[in-house]
Amino acid sequence: MFLLALLSSVFLYVSECKKVLDESSKTVTPVILIPGIFGSQVDGWYKKESVPHYYCTKDSKDWTTLWLCLECMLPPTLSCWMDTFSLNITDIDDICDREGVQTKVNDFGYTDGIGYLDKNHYVLQYELMVAGIEALPGYRRGISIRGAPYDYRHTPNTSKGKQYLVQLKYLIEETFELNSNNRVMIVAHSMGNPYMVNFLKHISQDWKDKYIAGYVAVAGVFGGSAKAIRALMSGETEDLPGIVINPLSMREFERSIPTIYWLMPPKHLWQDTPFVFANNRNYTAADLHTLLSDALVPSGMAMRGRVEDVPLFDPDLGVDVFCVHGVNQSTPLQFRYADGYFPDGWPTTVTGNGDGTVNIESLELCKQFKRLKGYKTVDGALATHLEILQREDVIAYVADLLTFTRRENYNSTDRGVLNF
C-alpha cells in the first residue's frame, strides 16, 4: 500500500509539473538556430568504385561522420576523406556529391547537430546558447529550441540549397504550431546570415508577419571575407583545435565547394581594395575571375560566375533585425606572395579590423538593415567569429530578446532600437 501511495504521489507530482511546463511553454517565443559555414554536422554513406590509396575504404557499410571528423583530418586518412567529401564540379550546372556518395545533415530540427561541430563534443558551437535558453521558463529542446543545420558546402541556388530553404520554411511553420502559434525568432551565425537573406527575400510579407518574431544576425558575413580568397589560393584550416595540418592539404576540398566562392569579397562593396599581391601585380575584388585563372583553380571562374549574383546582403528583409558581432580582432585582409610562391606557398598576411574571420566592412553592413532594432558589438575575450556564441553577454542578449518578444504588447512596427 505504501509503495502504491508513493507511486501515486510521484505520478501526481510529475503530472502537475508537466501541466505547469505546458502552460509556460504556451507563452514562449520559440527560437530556431542556424549555423554558419563548417557549422553543421554532416554524415555520409558511400560505396565507391575506386579510392586514391589502398588503405582508403570503398564501402562505409553504414552512415558515418564526415564533418566534423577530427581523425579524418590527419595524414594519411585526409586524402581518403577528401575523396569522399569533396563535391563533383565536373558539371558546373549540377554540383553534387561524388559518384557513389550520399550525404545528409545530422539532427535537423533538433540541437545535437549544431551544439558541437563534432559528435564527440570536442569543438563547441551552439551548446552554451542552447543551455542558456533552455534555462528560461517554458523552453524545451526540440520543441521551442530547434536547430536548422544544412550542408554548408552548397549555396542557396544549388539543388541542395533550394531544398534546405523549403525545409526551413516547413520547420518554422511547424515550430510556430508546436508553440501555440507564437511567432518564431531566428538566430543565424556567420554564413547562416546570407542564407537567411536569400530565404526572407523570397517569402511573402504576409507569411513573415505571421511566423517571424525577429531575426538575430550573429557575426554576419554580409560582405564576404578576405579569408575566402586565401582558402582558394593556398587552403584554410580555420584553426581547428588539435589539428596540425598544412593548409594546402585542404585546398582541393575547399576549391570544390561553391560557398567558398560565394564568400569572396564582392566588388560593389570593396571597390579597389587590393587583396592579393602576386605576379608583380595587385588583385582587387574586381579582379577575382583573373585571380582564379592565374592561380590555376579548376573551374574557378565558372564557380564564381555561378554564385556572384546570389546576394550576401539585402537591407530590406521585411522583419525586425538584431545584430551582434565582434570587433578589434586581428582579421586577415591582404595576402602577399613572394616571387615564385604563388599560389602554392603560404602568403604573408596583412590584418585589419574584424572578428578574426570576417572583416569589419562586411560585419558593419548589419547597420544598413531598414528594420534594425538592436545592434551590439563585443570586444576582448571570446569575441572571435566562432567563440562569440559562447559569450555570456551574447547569450544573455538573445535570452533578453526572447523574453521581450514574448510580451503581448510587443509591436513589430516599432522602430526603436533596443540596447540590452
Question: Over the stretch 332-366, which tens digit does the pLDDT of each residue have?
Answer: 999 999 999 999 999 999 999 999 999 999 999 99
Which triple of cell numbers denotes residue 318? 521585411
As a residue count, the chain comes to 420
Position 18 scores a pLDDT of 42
For the record, the C-alpha cell of 69 comes out as 571528423
How crowded is the C-beta side of 367, counted as CA atoms within 13 Å?
Answer: 7
pLDDT band at 74 (very low <50, low <70, confident <90, very high): confident
Instruction: Report d(CA 237, CA 244) in Å as an integer.
Output: 9
Architecture of the CATH domain 29-39+110-405: 3-Layer(aba) Sandwich (3.40)
Digit-coded pLDDT (tens) for 186-241: 999 999 999 999 999 999 999 999 999 999 999 999 999 999 999 999 998 775 54
Asked if the model's pLDDT at residue 285 lies above 50, the reply is yes
What local confidence, expressed as pLDDT, does residue 10 receive? 36
- pLDDT recorded at residue 25: 55
User: What pLDDT score does 405 carry?
Assistant: 72
**Alpha helix stretches (DSSP H) within 320-375:** 360-363
Distances in Å between the Cα of 139 and the Cα atoms of 108, 130, 208, 248 are 18, 10, 23, 44
Query: Backbone phi, then psi, for 284, in 5-degree steps?
Result: -100, 180
First to last CA, the chain: 55
207-210 long-range contacts, Cβ below 8 Å, gap at least 24? 208/318, 208/319, 209/412, 210/176, 210/183
What is the predicted pLDDT for the residue at 418?
47
Greatest mean pLDDT range, 84-88, 238-242, 245-249, 407-411: 84-88
Q: Which of 60, 190, 256, 362 is catalytic?
A: 190
Beta bridge partners of 349: 335
**Is it the case that residue 293 has pLDDT exceeding 60?**
yes
Q: Is the pLDDT of residue 245 over 60?
A: yes
Choose the weakest-confidence range: 79-93, 109-123, 159-173, 241-255.
241-255
Least confidently predicted of 4-13, 58-67, 378-387, 404-413? 4-13
For residue 399, name the pLDDT band (cuts at 50, 70, 90): very high
Q: Is the pLDDT of residue 278 over 50?
A: yes
Q: What is the pLDDT, as a whole number, of residue 298?
A: 85
What pLDDT is recorded for position 90? 73
Catalytic annotation present for 325:
no
Give me the DSSP letters along 265-316.
PPHHHHTT-EEEEETTEEEEGGGHHHHHHHTT-TTHHHHHHHHTTS-S--S-
How far is 28 from 50, CA to CA, in rounded Å?
52
Q: Do 327 and 384 meet the contact criterion of CB atoms below 8 Å apart?
A: no
Distance CA 199, CA 122 (A): 31
Distance (Å, rounded) from C-alpha 119 to C-alpha 124? Answer: 10
Does position 13 have pLDDT exceeding 60, yes or no?
Answer: no
Q: Is the pLDDT of residue 7 over 90?
A: no
User: What pLDDT is attached to residue 73?
Assistant: 86
> Is 190 assigned a catalytic role?
yes
Contact of 371 with 323, CB cutoff 8 Å? no
Q: How far apart are CA 420 and CA 170, in angstroms?
A: 31
Q: Per the residue annotation, which of 151, 287, 294, 355 is the catalytic one?
A: 355
Q: Can you give the pLDDT at residue 406?
A: 63
Task: Give the mean pLDDT of 319-340.
Answer: 97
User: Active site includes 385?
Assistant: yes
Categorize the per-residue pLDDT at 40 as very low, low, confident or very high, splitting at 50, 70 and 90. Answer: very high
Q: Are 98 and 90 in contact (CB under 8 A)?
A: no
